Amino acid sequence: MNQNDLEKEFVDHKIISSESKSWFVGKPGTNKNSFSVTWSPGAVVLYGEKGNITLIYSEFSSYESTKSWLATCERDEFESVIAHKPPENLDFFYFALKHWGNQKHFK
- What is the mean pLDDT, run by run of 10 residues, along the chain of 107 residues? 89 88 89 92 93 95 92 95 95 92 74
Measured CA to CA in angstroms, residue 61 lies from 56, 65, 84 at distances of: 10, 7, 20
- Per-residue pLDDT at 106: 55
Q: Quick one: which H or E segment has residue 96?
A: helix 90-102
How far apart are alpha carbons 32 and 94 in whole angstroms? Answer: 17
> Which parts of 19-106 are beta strand (E)?
21-25, 35-40, 43-48, 51-56
Helix (H, G, I), strand (E, B) or coil at 72: helix
CB 35 within 8 A of CB 23: no
pLDDT on residue 107: 52
